[in-house]
Amino acid sequence: MANQTMVGVFDSVSAAEQAKTGLLEAGIREDRIALSADLSEDAIAGEAPGQSYQNQPGQSSDDSARAAFGEAVRSGVCVLSVKAESHADGKYIKQLMRQKGARRTTEHRDA
């Protein structure tokens, strides 16, 4: 199985932190979880590391799909990313994130 990262978009940092707590309580290791948010008042200065802009020359369709989550961070919401250890684990993580209030979930398969 290719490495998978499950991604959930939350309306606030506190909502994402509550979801993270729920994932930890469900047995997901903390080193598999990353929380990305614009924590500055200047959205340009608060650009999330590793996020790309859409429609750049040479950008793959995977990058364009991920760019929507970077835009979510810049618009004031929070993105929670969790590395899945198997396909079943990924489905379970997405289900937990939805139960904890994720407005949107998706998965990214790492190369």
pLDDT digits (tens, 9 = 90+) for 40-65: 544 444 444 444 444 444 545 555 55
Percentage of the residues of the chain whose pLDDT score is greater than 90:
39
Q: 27's torsion region: left (phi>0), alpha (psi -120 to 50) or beta?
A: left
- 2-33 pLDDT per residue, tens: 688 999 999 888 999 999 999 999 999 999 99
Q: Which residues contact 93 (CB under 8 A, 6 or more apart)?
A: 6, 23, 28, 82, 84
Show the DSSP H helices in 1-108 as ranges.
13-25, 61-74, 87-99
pTM, 2 dp = 0.67
Q: pLDDT at position 55, please?
A: 42
Give every strand in the sheet of 4-10, ordered side by side: 33-37, 78-84, 4-10, 104-109
